[in-house]
Amino acid sequence: MKKRTIIVILSLLSVLLYGQVGINTANPQGVLDIKNKAKKMGLVMPIVDSAQVTTTPANSTAVEATVVYDSLNQCIRYKSANEWSNCLLDKDQVKNEISVSVIGKEFWLSSPPSPSLSSYYKKPTTSGDYFSLFTYTGNSTYLYGAGNSWATGSNGTVNPANKRYNIKPSYVLAGSGSSFIVADGKLYVSGSNTYRQLGVAGTSCATCDVQGFKEAPMPFSYADEKVLSVANINGSATTALLTDKGNVYTTGYGLYGHNGNGTTANQTAFTKVTSLSNIVALFGNDQNNLVYGMFVAIDKDGKIFAWGRHYYNYIPGFSLTQVVSTPVDITSAFTPFLSSGEKIVKVSISYYQTIALTNTGKVIVAGENYRIGYGTGIVNTLTAVTPFTLNAGEYVVDMEADSGGGIIATNKRIFVAGLNPFGRFGTGDASTKYSWTPVSIPDLDPSWNIEYIDLATNRTFITMAPTLSDGGGRILGSGSNIYGTLGSNNSLYQFKLMKF
């Protein structure tokens, strides 16, 4: 006992005199030097509920250089001068290390959920005015956020993009200042909630904004009904969602009939649109305007319904600036343009134009010409155009449109028309495209297939089909990088692989 006491005293004197501690070594090479002689044991870090709740023994804020194991995020994190780091390396990243390192562990990766889901219900990337959301799927799925908004699930600028939540999104959607995530049939929301477009909080807006993703309450049980997709219009002031029961629910701004409930009243919670049933697809368009825009829904029989405020859309039967507060069947407006076996797969009705895409690549348009790829002037009736001919092995995969223009994708090519601020179309410039223009993408490997596109006011993302061994695919982006919305890249005028 006496011998042990002497050793302890000598060890303490060594620390006091030299400020070094050696475990299993008499010659420590740093403040703390641990020699693992058995080479079987590891260093166990202090476990905390989450990094943010870590304190000093005096119960004050954790000091710089504190290192902990964050049990909430299941990873090691350290404290810098002002904030906690992102996860340094977690268990799933370890499993993915080999496959990710094949491409340098530097590119944005994305992969859709189960192949059994319709493409209508899969959206892996999205961007608003000041933020972007990405999913990464390897052996598990994470949501990443970049930009300056609560809509990333964070308060403040997130740049470069970093992992926010360990969830498995099947559908992500960015509005002007709000974001929506569908994961495991539930809807999670974050960001601006001024018009109750998130479907949460009460009637006072003093606390209505949501900082950090929250599960949105529903008028149904998630055990009985699952959310498939979500759409918004009016600068994301009105939100609609589609469930696996074929039902549509809306919430938010309703002054021009956008909630589809037969009135012009706002709604503070998701409410069923009772006149719709058996719906299989739901579309919106995020315009920075509280007046215009229409929701579009397609049912199992191919019927097309629209509601909201009709403006320069030129849908037959609707007058200029007409308020449509109950969904109206507009199928007959498109039927004359469809050949045998041809069907409408996506529709966007925005302020200045209507753009509909068929499964054969035909585009049915009306509105201001340069926004619909039809030269100059105005096309005041629906007109069919064929901007491209499908090659062997080529097929239509997606279309996105906003009040400024549109983008169409096949599995191998993209075509753009309309306003091109900040080079969002990836054409190498910022000039307006007056006709449907093919885009050259040097970073696009011929062996890859395009699967999804996301068009925002100032940027565009292209998601490739999975090609990596862990099930991931690549993401390309072009346009404005304000607040780091392209990850760590600068603003781009051509599509480039997104990097960490």
* Interatomic CA distance for residues 22 and 35, integer angstroms: 8
Lowest mean pLDDT among 49-58, 106-115, 295-304, 403-412: 106-115
* CA distance readout (Å), 83 to 62, 64, 72, 151, 159: 10, 9, 17, 19, 14
Q: Tens of pLDDT along 411-458?
A: 899 999 999 999 999 999 999 998 889 999 988 888 888 888 888 888
Supply the pLDDT for residue 262. 96
Supply the pLDDT for residue 464. 80
The answer, yes or no, to whether residue 223 has pLDDT greater than 80, is yes
* Interatomic CA distance for residues 90 and 162, integer angstroms: 13
H/E element holding 451? strand 450-455
| Range 289-306 average pLDDT | 84
Lowest mean pLDDT among 149-158, 404-413, 441-450: 149-158
| Range 68-80 average pLDDT | 75
Q: Comparing C-alpha atoms, which of 66, 69, 78, 30 is closest to residue 49? A: 69
Upstream peptide bond of 219 is cis (omega within 30 degrees of 0): no
| Range 85-91 average pLDDT | 59
Q: What is the mean pLDDT of the chain?
A: 76
User: Which residues lie closer than 8 Å to 94 by C-beta, 6 or more apart?
Assistant: none
* Rg of the chain, C-alpha, whole Å: 26
The answer, yes or no, to whether residue 476 has pLDDT greater than 70, is yes
Contact indicator for 215, 207 with CB cutoff of 8 Å: no
Supply the pLDDT for residue 90. 46
* CA distance readout (Å), 193 to 64, 152, 162, 302, 427: 35, 14, 24, 33, 35
Supply the pLDDT for residue 471. 57
* Interatomic CA distance for residues 54 and 66, integer angstroms: 9
Q: Tens of pLDDT along 197-213?
A: 889 865 444 455 555 67
Q: Tens of pLDDT along 237-246?
A: 899 999 999 9
The answer, yes or no, to whether residue 7 has pLDDT greater than 50, is no
Report the percentage of the chain scoring pLDDT > 70.
Answer: 69
Q: Tens of pLDDT along 180-202?
A: 888 888 998 887 788 888 898 65
* Interatomic CA distance for residues 426 and 416, integer angstroms: 9
